[in-house]
Chain A
Amino acid sequence: MNAGTLFGLCAAVVIGVGVFGLIVNPHPLRKILAFNVVGSGVFLLFGAIAYRGAGAGLGGDPVPQALLITGIVVAFSATALAVALLLRLFDETGSVTLSSDAPARTGNDTDAH
């Protein structure tokens, strides 16, 4: 097994762990963290692809590296937005649960509290 395959398999494991967390953890903060774990897995996979594609005597395929930086910036902004929403939700309602009672069932304009 060469290093590229090893990194690829690691990426698969990291993505799997993240997806598991995304599904089973009811707490939004943990979901945000799980999202970042999945994201890291995808980035690791991309890194492995860049490494594997390093033919022609180059130190690595440079295109995935450029895309990775962009991807990390996007994931960072997503995390920042999610955390900001979460903090605001806590300020407004005093809880951070995601499971709203289905609004279809409430007949009148009730606020969250």
Chain B
Amino acid sequence: MLTTPGGWLLVVAVLAPFVGVLAGLALGGRGAQHVAALMLPIGLAVASGIAWTLTQTGDTVVYLLGGWSPPLGIALRADGLSAAMLLAVAVVVCGVGVFARADFDTPAGTPEKRAPLAFWLLLLAVWGSLNLVFVSGDLFTLYVALELLTFSGVPLVCLDGRGETLRAALRYLLFALAGSLLYLLGAVLLYGGYGTLDIALLAERVHAEPVAWTAAALMTVGLLAKTALFPLHIWLPPAHAGAPAAASAVLSALVIKGSWFLVVRLWFDVMPGVVTLPAAQLLAGLGAAAIVAGSVVALRQERLKLLVAYSTIAQIGYLFLMFPLAFDASGHTLVHGAALTGGLLQAIAHATAKAGMFMAAGLMYAALGHDRIAELGGVARALPVTVLAFAISGVALMGVMPSGAYLAKKLLLESADSSGQWWWTMVLQGGAAFTAGYVVLVLANALRRPAVPVTLAKRVSRLSEYAALALALCSLLLAFAALGPVPGDLVSNPLAPKELGPTLLVVLVGALLALGLSRRPLLGGAGHDGPMRRATVAAGTGFEHTDAFLRRWPSASLALLALAALFGGLMLARSP
């Protein structure tokens, strides 16, 4: 194996953001902002360059550090998965960079503050660590990349330095560290068993035996803790809801994708023959639980940012539905195919749409001075572009026609059909209705005529509003980007009866869910709930209590260990 043409781009993709961090640190507040502004187009160009090289040569782009080939040296590799994620992350980071210009600006003549400096440096650091996660071809380098990602993500939570956010950041850090130790332990065991940590070499040497499945179980669960898959979401709601809008967008859209991507790498590229179908069913089962619990608790929230945070928990669930669908016909090994493409599209669609949604929520918070959902009335008239951005992000997440989530759902449904796993069809179809539920809940309140005209606490920047809208549109139009301007038979007219019918059904069921579960009744006044609503509210409260119980430290860490044992057991069950 040798360095391929264009391999140096991988080095630039990783190094450029970190050079930016160092330069920004040396130059200080205003300088850091300029450095970040300079880095955004450079990073986007490098990511596009890697994708272009890949499509031209049609083969994995490789760079051998120092010319040493594995197992002695370390290789950087970018395949189709990496290139797609590199490009998606570059687009989202650019969107966030434009959005944050208003919040973290240091105009000439004002003293430099710590929060803007920290934000711009951490934004670049998150970007560099993610790029390293996507291109490194070695499990230990991946460990370092993951830790860098955590170290740059955690301080984003507590940029404003309030006690509540500091506590959220500390919880996040401690739980993420527990996860990374499990990952490291797995990597150490693999080295002990096979004498290499290089992904390509390991894939040749590894086979189903105790050391391999123990390592697989430990690493998977460690990464799930960092991704905050239900029931390991102990840290996510306070961390994502407490951070400033731009930071929430980075955390929710990008940071959790790093560890998710690593689970994909591990299962598809390192041990496709070690993981088993029952283990994949468990993974997707946790995903299904995340969709239901996350969505129901989201509908029970009073605050918009917490609602969006819980919707992230539900969307993380979607990302894990592809695993059982990606097994080959014999059910023995994972293959790169339609299901994986669907999962990847889902991740990119979520990254763009959720960033747009958090930005829109943050703008509403800034403009109104609060984010209580029941008091959003009139905001649609005051901030039409922001509410439009929120609506489009929501529609894109629901999976309406040209959106990336639509295409992803279609690919996953086909895989479910062809492998006869009808239960995942139900989850995929039902999940959209839950998403519709919280979008309807927010929009119904935002479009309501207020009792007193809204007074805006603060004017929001036009540029920020359009940044949120642009990211939402990216997600909505992702199908065109994935399939080209003239898509084939995977895409049809969104207004044709065949498409419109299911869409309307999804929205209708979503509206019913919102009516039944919302904290304040959507229609009419409080006080005279029917028996139906009393029952649904009781169910919703039950979910809230379960969620609160699972998010306590002892239950979360015991769940971590129990899941590791369960995954190990399910992989042990594989008959040789």
Which A residues have a C-beta under 8 Å from some C-beta of B?
Answer: 15, 19, 22-24, 26, 28, 31-32, 35, 38-39, 42, 45-46, 49, 52-53, 63-64, 67, 70-71, 74, 77-78, 81-82, 85-86, 88-89, 92-93, 97-100, 102-105, 107-109, 111-113
- Contact A42–B191 (Cβ < 8 Å): no
A25 to B238, CA, bound (A): 21
> Known contacts being A15-B185, A35-B177, A77-B151, is A85 close to B552, with CB within 8 Å?
no
- Contact A112–B561 (Cβ < 8 Å): no
Q: B554 in the interface, Cβ–Cβ < 8 Å?
A: yes
Chain B residue at minimal CB-CB distance from A80: B151
- Contact B191–A103 (Cβ < 8 Å): no
> Known contacts being A77-B151, A88-B166, is A39 close to B551, with CB within 8 Å?
no
Q: Count chain B CB atoms within 10 A of each CB in A35, A45, A104, A107 and give the residue with the most.
A: A104
Shortest A19–chain B CB gap in Å is 7
- Contact A85–B166 (Cβ < 8 Å): yes
A28 to B553, CA, bound (A): 11
Shortest A15–chain B CB gap in Å is 7
Chain A residues within 8 Å of B162, by CB: 92, 111-112
Q: B140 in the interface, Cβ–Cβ < 8 Å?
A: yes
Chain B residues within 8 Å of A67, by CB: 140, 191, 197
- Contact A104–B561 (Cβ < 8 Å): no
A52 to B189, CA, bound (A): 13
- Contact B166–A113 (Cβ < 8 Å): no
Complex A-B: 29 CB contacts under 8 Å:
A22-B178, A23-B553, A23-B561, A45-B188, A46-B191, A63-B191, A64-B191, A67-B140, A67-B197, A71-B184, A74-B143, A74-B144, A82-B177, A85-B154, A85-B170, A88-B166, A89-B166, A92-B162, A92-B163, A92-B166, A93-B163, A97-B167, A103-B303, A107-B302, A107-B372, A108-B372, A111-B162, A111-B164, A112-B162
Q: How large is the interface on B (under 10, 10 to 19, 20 to 34, 35 or more residues)?
A: 35 or more
Q: B171 in the interface, Cβ–Cβ < 8 Å?
A: yes
Chain B residue at minimal CB-CB distance from A24: B554
A100 to B154, CA, bound (A): 17
A53 to B169, CA, bound (A): 40
- Contact A23–B173 (Cβ < 8 Å): no
Shortest B537–chain A CB gap in Å is 15
- Contact B166–A49 (Cβ < 8 Å): no
A71 to B543, CA, bound (A): 40
Q: B558 in the interface, Cβ–Cβ < 8 Å?
A: yes
A46 to B479, CA, bound (A): 46
Chain B residue at minimal CB-CB distance from A32: B174
- Contact B306–A19 (Cβ < 8 Å): no
Chain B residue at minimal CB-CB distance from A49: B192
Chain A residues within 8 Å of B551, by CB: 102
